[in-house]
């Protein structure tokens, strides 16, 4: 019952491939400074270059080379932003993050259906914009905890720079662009809530969310989830996925008792208001493909790479 969420590790084919891809992603995230050749990546994983290419293409939708570029690009951008403090802190703090802390770190509290229906009436939400490893983040919180996390820039969806022949990556970014749009995207979920810009109040949240070294089970981050019953159940399941690992939509569907509801799970995952903290980026298609992501497929890749690099 309370088993730690069955991850796609089992039968021969898929599980094996999955591990290989994980290894490759971890290797690239770790060694991107050296700009390893595809050959070297393949050697590190233990397969031929042809296999690696096919595998990667099948699982991640792009070639190992393209993934390497994405990781490198992302790193460069963070340094350029002059917001290197978060990144440096993460790298320099030894990345001690024993990978499993994430799920312990986050506790949650759901809204009652009645409160949900009220559209957030009587709720006071404070919000602020903060730099993060994955672009400008919009952080929202109320007295009971963190209640929203979104991204406000399109910078992490550089489909063009990444792979000119893959307009899919750029097109897939359907999310809002810009602060006002991001704020609107989040607030229309709770139309009656009172909003106050209060960067000072949200800064501590931003600080803790993106620094694994601050994740502690004894000082949990409280998350206030606002959604329908079904959505909340899906999000709770997501919180059980350990950092650096991934699951599938259909696995979650089975886990909450409706094996055939995978499509609905996908929709619910996408509606998750606290992206990254509720690890929606750790959900892949059953074939292992990186499917959609509200804030851009590239950002999803960056998150997975970021985590893979410090989970092992």
Partner DNA sequence: AGCAACAAATATC
Partner DNA sequence: GATATTTGTTGCT
Residues that bind DNA (CB under 7 A): 54, 57-58, 174, 228-231, 248-250, 258, 260-270, 272, 275, 280-281, 283, 285-287, 291-295
| Closest CB to DNA among residues 102, 294 | 294
Sheet containing 221-225, strands listed edge to edge, beginning at the edge strand earlier in sequence: 106-110, 221-225, 145-151, 135-142, 124-132, 194-197
Residue 260 CB, nearest distance to DNA (Å)?
Answer: 4
Residue 268 burial (10 A CB sphere; 0-12, 13-18, 19+) = buried
Q: Give yes or no for a contact between 166 and 159, defined as CB atoms under 8 angstroms apart.
A: yes
Task: Say whether 195 sits in a helix, a strand or coil.
Answer: strand
Q: How far is the CB of 24 from DNA (least distance, A)?
A: 16
Closest approach, Cβ 309 to DNA, in A, equals 21
Residue 32 or 293 with smaller CB distance to DNA: 293
Distance CA 259, CA 176 (A): 32
Nearer to DNA, 87 or 308 (CB): 308
DSSP letter for 166, please: -
Catalytic residue chosen out of the listed positions 170, 280, 303, 308: 280
Residue 280 appears among annotated catalytic residues: yes
Q: Which is nearer to DNA, 216 or 263 (CB)?
A: 263
- Residue 124 contacts residue 197 (beta carbons within 8 Å): no
Asked if residues 251 and 6 have their Cβ atoms less than 8 Å apart, the reply is: yes
Report in angstroms how near the CB of residue 153 gets to DNA at its nearest: 16
What amino acid positions are annotated as catalytic residues?
280
């Amino acid at each position: 019952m309370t088993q730690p969420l069955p991850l796609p590790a089992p039968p021969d084919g898929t599980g094996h491939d999955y591990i290989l891809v994980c290894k490759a992603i971890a290797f690239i995230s770790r060694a991107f400074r050296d700009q390893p050749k595809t050959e070297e990546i393949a050697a590190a994983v233990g397969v031929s270059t042809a296999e690696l290419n096919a595998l990667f293409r099948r699982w991640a939708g792009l070639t190992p080379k393209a993934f390497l570029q994405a990781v490198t690009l992302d790193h460069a951008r963070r340094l350029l932003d002059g917001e290197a403090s978060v990144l440096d802190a993460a790298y320099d703090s030894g990345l001690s993050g024993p990978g499993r802390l994430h799920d312990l770190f986050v506790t949650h509290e759901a809204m009652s259906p009645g409160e949900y229906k009220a559209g957030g009436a009587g709720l006071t939400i404070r919000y602020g914009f903060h730099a993060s490893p994955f672009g400008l983040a919009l952080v929202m919180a109320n007295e009971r905890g963190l209640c929203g996390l979104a991204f406000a820039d399109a910078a992490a969806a550089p489909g063009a720079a990444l792979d000119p022949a893959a307009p899919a990556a750029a097109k897939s970014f359907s999310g809002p662009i810009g602060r006002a749009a991001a704020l609107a995207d989040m607030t229309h979920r709770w139309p009656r809530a009172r909003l106050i810009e209060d960067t000072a109040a949200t800064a501590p949240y931003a600080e803790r969310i993106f620094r694994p070294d601050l994740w502690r089970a004894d000082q949990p981050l409280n998350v206030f989830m606002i959604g329908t019953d079904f959505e909340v159940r899906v999000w709770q399941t997501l919180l059980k996925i350990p950092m650096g690992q991934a699951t599938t939509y259909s696995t979650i569907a089975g886990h909450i008792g409706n094996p055939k509801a995978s499509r609905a799970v996908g929709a619910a995952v996408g509606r998750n208001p606290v992206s990254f903290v509720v690890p929606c980026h750790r959900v892949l298609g059953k074939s292992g493909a990186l499917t959609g992501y509200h804030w851009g497929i590239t950002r999803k890749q960056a998150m997975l790479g970021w985590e893979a690099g410090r989970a092992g």
